[in-house]
Amino acid sequence: MAATYDFYCERADQAAKAAANATLANVRERELRAEKTWRGLADQARAVAVQREKVEREKAEQREAEAEAAS
């Protein structure tokens, strides 16, 4: 997760910086839209990673319970 999430955050930060430095309104708006999109992708990547960890934890607990029941 970290690599993808970090990448998306970096791109969002770059877009925000470009928007702040833009002199043309259309360029500023484009960069702000890009920032919003990159932040959305970062949030989605984080949510997917959290869900994946939850599923893995639940599977591990289930395997443990099955192993205890079998012994």
Residue 1 has pLDDT above 70, yes or no: no
Which pLDDT score, from 0 to 100, does residue 31 have?
98
User: What is the pTM for the complete model shown?
Assistant: 0.79
42 vs 71 pLDDT, higher one: 42
3-state secondary structure 13-52: HHHHHHHHHCCCHHHHHHHHHHHHHHHHHHHHHHHHHHHH
Which pLDDT score, from 0 to 100, does residue 15 have?
98
Cα separation, 16 vs 53, in Å, equals 30
Please say whether the beta carbons of 40 and 5 come within 8 A.
no
